[in-house]
């Protein structure tokens, strides 16, 4: 006879709101994938099939670059981009302190020197701070278009001058623009990611290097395929990092929807803006993100700043509201970079943001009701803590 164990069932979470829901996107395109996928399966062109070529041409046009080179993921795209422009030992590379670790990792993996710089109140590389970190050894500055909004590329170009390479980390910004430049088309070379959760996401890993320089594109194309120009003719020490043909077919179909999906994100961001202004008019410590003049933000993430983040996060979790922290520590304060000896104070604004940022649910198809629930839960999480009188026992 089995023992009866009495347990308290978990409290039912009424209408949880996921942080990210990709199902609607997938459902929308699935029927269009049958033919292109059948074609790949029938021809067995799984690696560097014609669909890769086709997507590369479409994505280059979309990004305002002459060339796109499909690779295995966004991290490889950064590494291959760096190698294609010849970054290495002895080169200083300026990177914003608040980015996904891959940006800094790629600098370190190519043997260059990591120079973290501070950001502004919109989380983007601060040209003034960059100017102060430029030395005779500076070879590149990496403009990370964080959360979907482009870094100030025109100003960055001005402050670093013509001899420093402008590299874009465009992993979070497909479709964004600023000052007349499109994401991926503004720098000497750019790297992007098609990780499923990005604005343009594959059904697995993927990435691309973008550039308008023919020689850089050619080198990137060689490097992703063992440095080869023909079969078994290896010109460089490269790697194996190619965009899968099946993923390229997915991306071609998704690219036709990207502007519409970004418009849905933008509408959701406007709705969050209005809801937050109403809910936190009396709480200036809760700060909503903004779209800068001259910029088209694509809202990869919707990141607010909040006081009491641990408690707020706990309250959101208890209410079934998905959320994230992008990122909990700046790149210079991670265990992986401890040996470089950067301390707190290296990038004060990025460090301050790291303790307050909170990413709310954001994806094409998020409903007004879901957003209202997110904001009202956030409101009670923030003010509930602030206004609850101290209990004296």
Ligand X SMILES: *Cc1c(COP(=O)(O)O)cnc(C)c1O
Site residues for ligand X per CB under 6 A: 73-75, 99-100, 102-103, 144, 169, 171-172, 193, 195, 205, 207
> Between residues 103 and 212, which has the closer beta carbon with respect to ligand X?
103
Pairing of strands 113-117, 92-96: parallel
As measured in angstroms, the least distance from the Cβ of 223 to ligand X is 16
Nearer to ligand X by Cβ, of 81 and 275: the residue is 81
For 72-116, the DSSP string reads S-HHHHHHHHHHHTT--TT-EEEEESSS-HHHHHHHHHTTPEEEE
Q: Contact, 194 vs 54, CB < 8 A?
A: no
Q: How far is the CB of 7 from ligand X (least distance, A)?
A: 39
CB nearer to ligand X: pick between 207 and 378? 207
**Smallest distance from the beta carbon of 50 to ligand X, in angstroms?**
23
Q: Are 377 and 275 in contact (CB under 8 A)?
A: no
Which residue's C-beta sits nearest to ligand X? 74
78 vs 360 by CB, closer to ligand X: 78
Cβ 296 to ligand X shortest distance, Å: 18
Contacts by residues 308-316 (CB-CB < 8 Å, ≥ 24 positions apart): 308/382, 308/385, 308/386, 309/355, 309/356, 309/357, 309/358, 311/381, 311/385, 312/358, 312/378, 312/381, 312/382, 312/385, 313/358, 315/377, 315/380, 315/381, 315/384, 315/385, 316/377, 316/378, 316/381
- What are the residues facing 225 on neighbouring strands? 240
Single out the catalytic residue among 67, 145, 178, 198. 198
198 is catalytic: yes
Beta bridge partners of 295: 178
CB of 254 to ligand X, least distance (A): 15
How many CB atoms neighbour CB 15 within 10 A? 10
Nearest residue (CB) to ligand X, 283 versus 334: 334
CA-CA distance, 289 to 376, in Å (whole number)?
A: 18
The answer to whether residues 188 and 165 touch, using CB atoms and an 8 Å cutoff, is yes
Query: What's the distance, Cα to Cα, between the start and end of the chain in Å?
Result: 48
Longest dimension (CA), the chain: 80
Q: What would you report as the CA-atom Rg of the chain, rounded to the nearest whole angstrom?
A: 22
Q: How far is the CB of 194 from ligand X (least distance, A)?
A: 7
Output 272 or 327, the one with its CB closest to ligand X: 327
Residues noted as catalytic: 198
């Amino acid at each position: 006879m089995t023992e009866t164990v009495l347990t308290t069932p978990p409290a039912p979470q009424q209408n949880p709101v996921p942080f990210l829901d990709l199902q609607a996107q997938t459902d929308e395109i699935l029927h269009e994938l049958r033919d292109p996928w059948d074609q790949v399966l029938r021809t067995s062109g799984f690696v560097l099939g014609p669909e890769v070529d086709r997507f590369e041409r479409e994505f280059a046009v979309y990004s305002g670059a002459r060339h796109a080179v499909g690779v295995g993921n966004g991290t490889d795209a950064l590494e291959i981009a760096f190698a294609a422009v010849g970054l290495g030992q002895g080169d200083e590379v300026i990177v914003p302190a608040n980015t996904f670790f891959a940006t800094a990792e790629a600098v370190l993996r190519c043997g260059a020197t990591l120079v973290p710089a501070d950001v502004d109140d919109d989380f983007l590389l601060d040209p003034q701070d960059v100017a102060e970190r430029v030395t005779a050894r500076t070879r590149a500055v990496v403009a990370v278009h964080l959360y979907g909004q482009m870094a100030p590329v025109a100003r960055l170009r001005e402050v670093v001058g013509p001899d420093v390479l402008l590299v874009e980390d465009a992993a979070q910004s497909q479709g964004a623009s600023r000052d007349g430049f499109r994401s991926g088309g503004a720098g000497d070379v750019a790297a992007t990611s098609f990780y499923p959760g990005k604005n343009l996401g594959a059904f697995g890993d993927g990435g691309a290097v973008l550039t308008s320089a023919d020689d850089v594109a050619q080198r990137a194309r060689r490097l992703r395929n063992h440095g080869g120009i023909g079969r078994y003719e290896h010109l460089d020490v490269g790697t194996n990092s190619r965009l899968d043909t099946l993923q390229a077919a997915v991306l071609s179909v998704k690219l036709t929807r990207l502007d519409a999906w970004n418009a849905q994100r933008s509408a959701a961001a406007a709705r969050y803006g209005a809801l937050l202004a109403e809910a936190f008019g009396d709480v200036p410590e809760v700060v909503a993100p903004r779209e800068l003049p001259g910029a088209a933000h694509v809202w990869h993430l919707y990141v607010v700043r909040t006081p009491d983040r641990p408690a707020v996060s706990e309250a959101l979790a208890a209410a079934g509201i998905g959320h994230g922290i992008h990122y909990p520590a700046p790149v210079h304060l991670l265990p992986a970079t401890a040996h470089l000896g950067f301390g707190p104070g290296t990038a004060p604004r990025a460090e301050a943001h790291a303790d307050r940022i909170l990413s709310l649910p954001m994806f094409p198809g998020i409903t007004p009701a879901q957003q209202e629930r997110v904001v009202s839960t956030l409101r009670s999480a923030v003010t509930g803590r602030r206004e609850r009188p101290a209990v004296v026992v």
